[in-house]
Amino acid sequence: MKQIANLLFEIRMLKDINRSGYSFLGSGRESIADHCFTTAFICFTMARLDPEVDSGRLVAMALVHDFGEARTGDFNYVQKKYSETNEERAISHLIRNIPFGDDIRSLIDEFNRGETKEARLANDADQISFVLELKKLKDIGSKPPEKWLPIVGERVKTRLGKQILEGILETRWDEWWMNDYSE
C-alpha cells in the first residue's frame, strides 16, 4: 500500500500546481486539479447526454489526462515553444509499481490519440473547461478572454461539445445564482 500512498500524494500535488496560461491572460487562476475535476464533471454530463458512450472510461480519461503534470508542471503554448517536457517518461515513472498503472497509461494514451468517441468527447471537455473559466472572466469585465474565447471554442469538435459550448456562450456565468433570487 506504500506505492498507492505515494501515488495518491503525487496526484494530490495537482492541487498545488497552477495552470500557467492565466499569467498570460492577466487574470484568473486555476490549479490542475481544479481543471481535471471540472473536465471530469463535464464528461459525466456528456455521458448522461449521450448514453452510447462508455461513461466510466470517459470520466476516467478526463480524471487522469493531466496526471503527468504532477511531475512536469503545466506548459502553455508559449512555454512549449522553448522548453520540452517528457510526458511519456513522467507517466512511466508515476505508474511504475502501481498494479493498475497500465490502465492509467491506456487512458492517457487514448486521450492523446483522440481516435475514439470517448477520447474526442474528453478532449472537448478539456477545452470546454477552459471556456467556462474564460467566460466567467469575460462576464466580470476582463478583456483578454474576448480574444481567446473564439480560439478555444474552435478546438471543440464533436456535435455534443459544440452544443454545450453554445449553451455556455449564451449564458452569463452567474445566471444560475440569480435564477431564484429573492430577499
Q: What is the mean pLDDT of the chain?
A: 94
Establish if 22 belongs to a structural domain.
Answer: yes
How far is the CA of 43 from the CAs of 95, 160, 176, in angstroms?
23, 11, 20
Establish if 161 belongs to a structural domain.
Answer: yes
Dist. CA 52–CA 60, nearest whole Å: 16
Task: Tell me the pLDDT tens digit for each residue of 90-147.
Answer: 999 999 999 999 999 999 999 999 999 999 999 999 999 999 999 999 999 999 999 9
What pLDDT, on a 0 to 100 scale, did the predictor assign at position 27?
Answer: 83
What pLDDT, on a 0 to 100 scale, did the predictor assign at position 79?
Answer: 86
Question: Percent of the chain scored above 90 by pLDDT?
Answer: 83
Look up the pTM and report it. Answer: 0.94
What pLDDT, on a 0 to 100 scale, did the predictor assign at position 168?
Answer: 98
The DSSP result for 72-111, as a single string, is: H----HHHHHH----HHHHHHHHHTT-TTHHHHHHHHHHH
- Residue in the block written with cell 498507492: 4
Domain membership of residue 113 as a residue range: 2-174
Of the candidates 34, 49, 37, 169, the residue with the CA atom closest to the CA atom of residue 121: 49
Establish if 181 belongs to a structural domain.
Answer: no
Q: CATH number of the domain that 134 lies in?
A: 1.10.3210.10
Task: Tell me the pLDDT tens digit for each residue of 7-37.
Answer: 999 999 999 999 988 887 778 899 999 999 9
H or E segment at 151? Answer: helix 144-153
| 18: β partners | 31
In the chain, the number of structural domains is: 1
Establish if 70 belongs to a structural domain.
Answer: yes
What pLDDT, on a 0 to 100 scale, did the predictor assign at position 49?
Answer: 98
Give the model's confidence band at 179: pLDDT under 50 very low, under 70 low, under 90 confident, else very high.
confident
- Angle in degrees, 0-180, between the axes of helices 159-169 and 32-49, rounded to the nearest 10: 110
Give the model's confidence band at 61: pLDDT under 50 very low, under 70 low, under 90 confident, else very high.
very high
- pLDDT at residue 181 above 80? no
- pLDDT at residue 42 above 90? yes
Establish if 63 belongs to a structural domain.
Answer: yes
C-alpha cell, 35 = 481543471
